[in-house]
Amino acid sequence: MDLDYTKVIKYVEEVTKQNGRPDNYPFRSRFDHIMRVYRWAIKIQSKEGGDLDIISLAALFHDAGWEEDRPHWEVSAEIAVEYLAELDYDVAKIGRIGEIIMRHNDKDTTDDLSLECRVVMDADLLDEVGAMSILWDSMATACEDEASYKKAYYRIKNYYRINQPKISRCKTATGRVEYSKRMKAIGDFLNELERELF
């Protein structure tokens, strides 16, 4: 069955806007995050392989759900399964999509995961790393009291220190290469900022 991805994306956008999940910052959009993860999942799949529909749909629904007292991955999986079942989508694929959504947040697992699950996990991990994290930290600092270039510098440097070892969470070779590039970009930026700021 061929899905109309335009309709799926529109549905995910509506559900995400209506679910009441609070954003950390006014500039943060959960739907924009979902779309970046979706695009990265497609890019990783083009190099790693795996079922493109399963990867795409799991990426699109991975953060769509939210309830105050339940893990977002459970709610997101339910939304995906119910939506795809209403479309009479392949039952076996629905099960695999739901499973990926349920597992996507468990980045430190050493379990033997499907290729599709590893691709979605890496796409989610890569979002807001690199230039995006520099932008995030700069904008977040600007939202705080007494914002300054030095406060932004120290926030970016702390992010870099904490996240550099997290390359071990990458589940694909493509994810590891991209993560390394992004960490290098942050390191290069910090070196240049130190030269100009101090």
What confidence score (pLDDT) does residue 44 get? Answer: 98
Note whether residue 55 is domain-resident. Answer: yes
Tell me the CA end-to-end span of the chain in Å, nearest whole number: 59
Both 60 and 143 in one domain: the answer is no
Residues contacting 181, CB < 8 A, separation 6+: 130
Contact 1, 90 (CB under 8 A): yes
Both 99 and 161 in one domain: the answer is no
Q: How many domains does the chain have?
A: 2
Instruction: Average pLDDT across each block of 10 residues of the chain; the chain has 198 residues. List them in order.
Output: 91 92 82 96 98 98 93 95 96 97 93 97 95 95 94 97 95 97 97 96
Contact 9, 60 (CB under 8 A): yes
Note whether residue 30 is domain-resident. Answer: yes
Sign of the dihedral defined by the CA atoms of residues 112, 117, 121, 126, in that order: positive
Both 98 and 13 in one domain: the answer is yes
What confidence score (pLDDT) does residue 25 get? Answer: 81
Both 90 and 182 in one domain: the answer is no
The pTM of the full predicted model, rounded to 2 decimals, is: 0.94
